[in-house]
């Protein structure tokens, strides 16, 4: 394998052969593969320090608690926050739901929430439920190249807008939104600014800014295990919020009819936490730090640039989102026109019928070539409706992909593009 950013041999899954051939994994936007360093850290925890955290005074429990809290510190260092501003959750979805069920509950009829039409369902449905109490949910549009319409955002931002919640990078279009600019606009409007960073924190340098109130991301999208997520929140905001879940560990004192909760972030981590996940996420961060996030970003830009140029040579392939790799991440959603059907209609009736292969058929075809891409609506149905399609296929890159993976993908796809 050539021109990878991380060492492909660090990832045990790539030893797997299908029909005697290597697999080409191009679905890292959905979840990433795990390096041996992460797997070893998880095994080491279970073999040498497995105990419940924050509960007991014996040495093993102290070791487990230290590992867990050191993981929190490693996350906070990675994003440039304080450790007591990092709440461990299950994933980005739970982080955004936590906000919906806490700060969202304080909203009243007539209040306004502003998101975009390129959001993942995880940043739509938690806010949509508040419409039942009379809160208005509005969407910022985007142009034909996939850029967010900042003019539309400005026109829809008003005094009733209590929350602005924006994806940093679209999981379909790949668009990288100008969150610093949007954050300043939100703050000038006295709106709470929330960032869905599931597709950005794993792929580019990310540092907290004063205008960011809350940021959510997932461990499994950045080489870590599934079931661990992060919610960053400004401490004074976390302090004011009621807990999302209630139960063990997150209390300071309980009487029969009263409770005093712990300080953040512990008051948001009811019950036994995912210690394994936190340890694995910390190991994943160490791996990414070794590479350097600037190098991760540069590598993905290179792979994306080569892929987009190659797709433009395939005349019956349409991809979505910005053409400039400086404005997009390493995810490419695309569709392919069925040329055989087009030719038949041209010969039979002299009309043009622009018929697309179904995205699942594209993915199945590529699967036969050991090239693994996602297909469907990618949990972004409103975005698909805006694009006028039922779904797309989607290829996405990460540190273990190289130019040879791009070539395997494009060469396989070209077989669907044969106009001869």
The span from the CA of 331 to the CA of 200, in Å, is 11
The span from the CA of 191 to the CA of 169, in Å, is 21
The whole-angstrom distance between residue 355's C-alpha and the CA centroid of its chain comes to 31
| Tokens 């694995």 belong to residue | 280
**Directed axis angle between helix 359-367 and helix 403-414, to 10°?**
120
Tell which residue, 3, 6, 28, has the closest CA to residue 286.
6
The span from the CA of 271 to the CA of 263, in Å, is 15
Catalytic residue selected from 39, 237, 379, 403: 379
Helices (H), 27-91: 36-48, 59-79
Q: Is 379 one of the annotated active-site residues of the chain?
A: yes
The span from the CA of 128 to the CA of 158, in Å, is 19
Q: Tokens in use for 289?
A: 């730090």
Torsion sign across C-alpha atoms 238, 202, 383, 90: negative
Q: Tokens in use for 114?
A: 């502003």
Tell which residue, 203, 199, 234, has the closest CA to residue 218.
199
What letter does residue 355 receive in the DSSP assignment?
P
The span from the CA of 49 to the CA of 275, in Å, is 10
Which three-class secondary structure string do you get for 176-193?
Answer: ECCHHHHHHHHHHCCCEE
Residues 6+ apart with CB under 8 A from 350: none
Q: What are residue 167's DSSP bridge partners? A: 196
> Which active-site residues does the annotation give?
379
């Amino acid at each position: 394998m050539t021109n990878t950013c991380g060492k492909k041999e660090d990832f045990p899954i790539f030893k797997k052969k299908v029909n005697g051939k290597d697999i080409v994994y191009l679905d890292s936007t959905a979840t990433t593969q795990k390096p041996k360093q992460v797997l070893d850290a998880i095994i080491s925890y279970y073999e040498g320090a497995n105990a419940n955290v924050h509960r007991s005074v014996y040495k093993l429990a102290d070791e487990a608690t230290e590992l867990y809290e050191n993981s929190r510190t490693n996350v906070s260092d990675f994003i440039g926050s304080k450790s007591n501003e990092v709440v461990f959750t299950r994933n980005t979805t739970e982080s955004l739901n936590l906000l919906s069920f806490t700060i969202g509950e304080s909203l009243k009829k007539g209040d306004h929430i502003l998101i975009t039409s390129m959001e993942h369902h995880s940043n739509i449905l938690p806010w949509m439920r508040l419409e039942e109490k009379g809160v208005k949910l509005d969407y910022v549009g985007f142009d034909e190249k996939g850029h967010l319409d900042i003019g539309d955002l400005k026109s829809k931002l008003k005094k009733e807008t209590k929350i602005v919640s924006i994806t940093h990078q679209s999981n379909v279009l790949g668009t990288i939104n100008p969150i610093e600019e949007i954050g300043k606009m939100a703050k000038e409007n006295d709106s709470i600014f929330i960032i869905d960073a599931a597709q950005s924190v794993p792929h580019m340098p990310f540092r907290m800014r004063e205008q960011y109130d809350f940021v959510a991301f997932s461990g499994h999208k950045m080489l870590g295990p599934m079931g661990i997520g992060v919610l960053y929140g400004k401490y004074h905001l976390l302090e004011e919020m009621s807990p999302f879940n209630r139960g063990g560990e997150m209390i300071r004192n309980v009487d029969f009819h009263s409770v005093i909760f712990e300080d953040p972030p512990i008051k948001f981590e009811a019950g036994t936490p995912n210690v394994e996940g936190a340890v694995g996420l910390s190991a994943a961060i160490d791996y990414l730090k070794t590479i350097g996030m600037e190098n991760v970003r540069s590598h993905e830009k290179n792979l994306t640039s080569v892929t987009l140029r190659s797709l433009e040579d395939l005349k019956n392939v349409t991809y979505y989102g910005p053409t400039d790799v400086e404005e997009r991440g390493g995810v490419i959603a695309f569709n392919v026109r069925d040329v055989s059907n087009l030719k038949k209609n041209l010969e039979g009736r002299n009309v043009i019928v622009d018929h697309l292969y179904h995205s699942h058929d594209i993915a199945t075809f590529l699967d036969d070539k050991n090239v693994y891409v996602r297909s469907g609506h990618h949990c972004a149905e409103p975005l698909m409706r805006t694009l006028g399609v039922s779904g797309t296929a989607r290829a996405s890159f990460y540190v273990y992909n190289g130019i040879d993976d791009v070539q395997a993908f494009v060469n396989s796809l070209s077989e669907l593009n044969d106009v001869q």
